[in-house]
Amino acid sequence: MTRFEPKPTALSEPFWEGTSERELRFQRCGGCGAAVWYPRLRCPSCLGDDLRWTRSSGQGSVYTFNVMRRPGNPMMADEVPYVVAIIDLDEGYRMLTNITGCAPEAIECGQRVEVAWDVELSDGRRLPTFVPSPAGST
């Protein structure tokens, strides 16, 4: 069974287009400057509607994570064990994702990570996940 494939909406389409080009995007509020995730129609800090799609560096640090030993939903049955994490992106927003490319035992809160594009969906979009940053990078 394959993982649940999210359905793009008119609101989220620019994000999903970016993933096909391996570019991580988020919304920045032109009014108050807040970094916004997940996509909104209006800024959740000021309710302004001047939300601008912006490229993220894809760099951040681990806020928290788990190790799923039982699938969180039936579509993930073949993936266990897998790691769900919340990442603090350097641009000032927080997103939920998976950490891949390392043993779960090697992950810790605060660790530096960067976006990876290994998970391709059936229509060419990609699901951004994160991997540990190479040693020595900031």
Partner 1 sequence: MVHPLRGATAIVGAVDAVSPTGALDRPVAALEVDMVKQALDDAGLTIGDVDAVISNNGMMASLDLAERLGVRGRFTDSTMTGGSSFEVHVEHAAVAIAHGLCDVAVIVYAATPRSGKNPFGGGGPPMGGDLPFLEWDLPYGLGLPASSYSLAARRHMHEFGTTNEQLAAIAVSFREWAAKNPNAYHRTPITVDDVLESPWVAEPLHKLDCCLVTDGAGALVLTSADRARDLRQPPVFVLGAGTAHTHGMSISQMPDLTTTGAAVSGPQALSMAGVGPSDIDVVELYDSFTITALMTLEDLGFCQKGEGGAFVADGRLGPGGSLPTNTNGGGLAYTHPGMYGMFVLVEAVRQLRGDSGERQVSGAEVAVANGCGGVLSCTSTIVLGGGSTI
Return residues touching partner 1 (CB under 8 A).
3-9, 12, 38, 63-73, 76, 79, 82, 84-86, 94-98, 104, 108-110, 127, 129
Q: How far is the CB of 86 from partner 1 (least distance, A)?
A: 5
Of the candidates 39, 19, 25, 23, the one whose C-alpha atom is nearest the C-alpha of residue 120 is: 19
Query: Closest CB to partner 1 among 28 and 36?
Result: 36
Q: How far is the CB of 116 from partner 1 (least distance, A)?
A: 13
Query: Closest CB to partner 1 among 103 and 136?
Result: 103
Cβ proximity of 126 and 117 under 8 Å: yes
Show the tokens assigned to 74. Answer: 């039936």
Does the CA dihedral 136-68-81-23 come out positive or negative? negative
Q: How far is the CB of 1 from partner 1 (least distance, A)?
A: 12
Sequence-ordered list of residues with C-beta below 8 angstroms from that of 84, at least 6 positions apart, any chain = 65, 66, 68, 72, 96, 97, 98
Query: Closest CB to partner 1 among 105 and 136?
Result: 105
The sheet carrying 25-29 orders its strands as: 35-36, 25-29, 51-55
Query: Closest CB to partner 1 among 90 and 136?
Result: 90
Q: How far is the CB of 20 from partner 1 (least distance, A)?
A: 16
